[in-house]
């Protein structure tokens, strides 16, 4: 736990003995109540000489909530300060899932000299973010879920084991990680920081778009073909236009959480990506 911008942020890293450059930095998608568990299938399969850090945004995992704005520049500056205070030195390879893609693109725009490459896991594009609107049904669903949590109904259901089928959506998790996933969902789901991130989505997308591309910084794009989102092929093509040095890997018949289903394949591709970057 490291204090950044007057709140505590949780960062997790693997054994320092495995430390190598560049460092992999994992950033989660919107509403992921415990990124530590969400990315478990990936980091447990990484090659031993790959050094990684995983951070949890305010309101996620063990990190405290914050009253600071969730505009993209504040989020990125907090991430940078966190890496500096944890003595993680650039260059970095950022790996972002879904909404986490926005902050890694913005990081590359603001501090290109610190970024070796970007990897997106079914990421959203700045254009997608700019056009995003939190609909009435989503607002009502958000309020309903928050009410169930705040009034303790979720906790009561958890005691019966009824929440496991809802929150344990990753095969092969150790029991302690399964328990953590349920507990963190009860603690963090539908909190104000997550809501503000969604409300800021369009503005954050506009901020990134107005700053242009990231030049020739390499991007590896992992894309799902069956995640249920509209215009997703177009969204993935928009990500490929952010850099002049891009590669896309499609995973057929996978959902939005590709890293849950294809962790072995992603870890293998990451290893080859690192090798290619060093050539």
Looking at residue 107, its pLDDT comes to 98
One digit per residue, the tens of pLDDT, for the chain of length 279 reads: 999 998 999 999 987 555 567 899 999 999 999 999 999 999 999 988 889 999 999 999 999 999 999 999 999 999 999 999 999 999 999 999 999 999 999 999 999 999 999 999 999 999 999 999 876 666 666 666 666 666 566 666 555 555 555 566 788 889 999 889 988 988 898 899 999 999 999 999 999 999 999 999 999 999 998 777 888 999 999 999 999 999 999 998 899 999 999 999 999 999 999 989 987
Q: What local confidence, expressed as pLDDT, does residue 144 receive?
A: 65
Predicted pLDDT at 47: 84
Q: Which residues pair with 96 in a beta bridge?
A: 27, 120
Sign of CA dihedral 87, 173, 249, 209: negative
Q: Give the other-Cβ count within 10 Å of 155's Cβ.
A: 13
Say which CATH number the domain at 67 has.
3.40.50.1820
CA separation for the pair 67, 216 (Å, rounded):
36
| pLDDT score at 172 | 86
Q: For residue 278, what pLDDT is reported?
A: 83
Cis peptide leading into residue 22 (ω within 30°):
yes
Give residue 22's pLDDT.
87
**Number of domains forming the structure of the chain:** 1
Q: How many CA atoms lie within 13 A of 200 on its CB side?
A: 21
Using an 8 Å Cβ cutoff, are 197 and 129 in contact?
no
Residue located via tokens 């072995």: 264
Euclidean distance between CA atoms 62 and 65, whole angstroms: 9
Query: What per-residue confidence (pLDDT) applies to 166?
Result: 58
Predicted local distance difference test score (pLDDT) of residue 266: 96
Q: What are the beta bridge partners of residue 23?
A: 92
Structural domain that includes position 141: 2-277
pLDDT value at residue 137:
63
Helix (H, G, I), strand (E, B) or coil at 8: strand
């Amino acid at each position: 736990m490291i204090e950044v911008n007057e709140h505590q942020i949780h960062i997790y890293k693997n054994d320092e003995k495995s430390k190598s450059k560049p460092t992999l930095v994992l950033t989660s998608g919107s509403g992921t109540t415990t990124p530590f568990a969400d990315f478990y299938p990936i980091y447990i399969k990484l090659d031993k000489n790959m050094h990684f850090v995983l951070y949890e945004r305010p309101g996620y995992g063990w990190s405290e909530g914050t009253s600071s704005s969730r505009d993209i520049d504040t989020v990125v500056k907090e991430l940078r300060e966190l890496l500096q205070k944890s003595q993680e030195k650039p260059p970095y390879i950022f790996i972002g899932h879904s909404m986490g893609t926005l902050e890694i693109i913005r990081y590359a725009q603001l501090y290109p000299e610190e970024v070796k490459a970007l990897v997106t896991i079914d990421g959203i594009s700045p254009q997608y973010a700019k056009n995003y609107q939190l609909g009435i049904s989503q607002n009502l669903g958000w309020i309903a879920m928050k009410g169930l949590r705040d009034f303790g109904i979720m906790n009561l259901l958890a005691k019966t084991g009824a929440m496991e089928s809802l929150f344990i959506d990753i095969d092969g998790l150790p029991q302690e990680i399964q328990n953590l996933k349920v507990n963190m969902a009860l603690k963090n789901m539908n909190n104000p920081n997550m809501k503000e991130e969604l409300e800021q989505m369009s503005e954050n997308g506009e901020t990134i778009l107005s700053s242009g591309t990231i030049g020739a910084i390499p991007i590896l794009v992992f894309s799902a073909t069956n995640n249920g989102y509209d215009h997703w092929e177009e969204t993935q093509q928009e990500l490929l236009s952010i850099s002049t040095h891009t590669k896309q890997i499609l995973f057929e018949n996978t959902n939005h959480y590709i890293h849950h289903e294809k962790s072995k394949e992603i870890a293998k591709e990451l290893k080859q990506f690192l090798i290619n970057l060093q050539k």
